[in-house]
Amino acid sequence: MKKVIETLAAAVEKSATVDTVQTLYPQLSNKAADIVLTDVIDYLNKEINLDQLAMFLMNQGIQETEKQVA
């Protein structure tokens, strides 16, 4: 999950939008992508730790085996 989180964090740092999350994970609904975006921002702001973010992402259906879009 660390690689998934690094990819998401880098993308959100460049552009903190729901579209950014949905580009990486097109299967997510707008609501799920918004939740993921908020969780990643919380992680970047050090409000939650890596393990918490990993758990939150898995709850939204994001797994390490997902295909990554560069």
Phi, psi of 68, deg, nearest 5: -95, 140
Domains identified in the chain, total number: 1
pLDDT digits (tens, 9 = 90+) for 9-33: 999 999 999 999 999 999 999 999 9
Q: What is the token pair recorded at 11?
A: 């993308």
Domain-embedded: residue 54: yes
- Contacts by residues 20-26 (CB-CB < 8 Å, ≥ 24 positions apart): 23/69, 24/68, 24/69, 25/62, 25/66
Please tell me whether residue 67 adopts helix, strand or coil conformation. Answer: coil
* This prediction's pTM: 0.86
Q: Check residue 64 and give its pLDDT.
A: 78
Domain-embedded: residue 69: no
Report the 10 Å Cβ neighbour count for 9: 16
Domain housing 18: 2-59
Cα 56 versus chain centre, distance: 9
